[in-house]
Homo-oligomer: A and B are copies of this chain.
Amino acid sequence: MGLGRGYAAQDCSLAHALETIGERWTLLVLRDCFYGVRRFKDFQAHLDIPRAVLADRLKTLTSTGALERREHSTGVYYLLTEQGMELWPAIFSLAQWGERWLSPHGSRRVFSHAECDTDLETTGRCPTCGTFPGPGELLVREGPGADRTLRDDRISAALRRGPHRLLTNPFPEPDYA
């Protein structure tokens, strides 16, 4: 968004948040991070995002402190920092709003509290234990509103295979740490 041309004159923390995560694609990149995506090529395959934009967003998120860039013998990968993790409630809330108002065929993804084996309420609360689990304690699976015809990249395939724990590598083979 560019701070010079941004929302700098707003004295509002929402405006400042949007400076860093309000650009096109940024929240979808972060969503993929919560799904366990870590490599450039996988973000690219799963999002159909122009490479130049992806490179820019990863750079911005890294310099803001939401992601950490690491080099490994098998390549580069990106991980959520504590700062990035704390975007989970906002991302979850937005997604729930989309499920509620913009998903005519039912929910596309269902989140459950792994420990309690219970689906979350739309608020993010686990009805069994009453807590608000963090992303690392959650599983995602397909809901009735999912449309399997839309995507066939390897990330989508992995997420379809069954419940997947957030923040963990979605691939059986350990092609990165």
Interface residues in chain A, defined as those with a beta carbon under 8 Å from any beta carbon in chain B: 1, 7, 9-22, 24, 27-28, 31, 47-48, 65, 83, 86-87, 89-91, 93-103, 107-109, 123, 132, 146-147, 150-151, 156
Q: Is the CB of B93 within 8 A of A89?
A: yes
A87 to B147, CA, bound (A): 25
- At the interface, is chain A mostly helix, strand, loop or mixed? helix
| A91 contact set on B, CB distance < 8 A | 14
Q: Is the CB of A17 within 8 A of B97?
A: yes
A108 to B71, CA, bound (A): 38
Closest to A103 in B: B13
In the complex, how many angstroms separate the beta carbon of A137 from the nearest chain B beta carbon? 15
Contact of A14 among B28, B100, B107 (CB under 8 A): B28
| With A11-B146, A11-B151, A89-B93 already in contact, 17 other A-B pairs whose C-beta atoms are closer than 8 Å | A7-B28, A9-B150, A10-B47, A10-B151, A12-B31, A12-B95, A12-B108, A13-B95, A13-B97, A13-B98, A13-B102, A13-B103, A13-B107, A13-B108, A14-B98, A16-B102, A86-B97
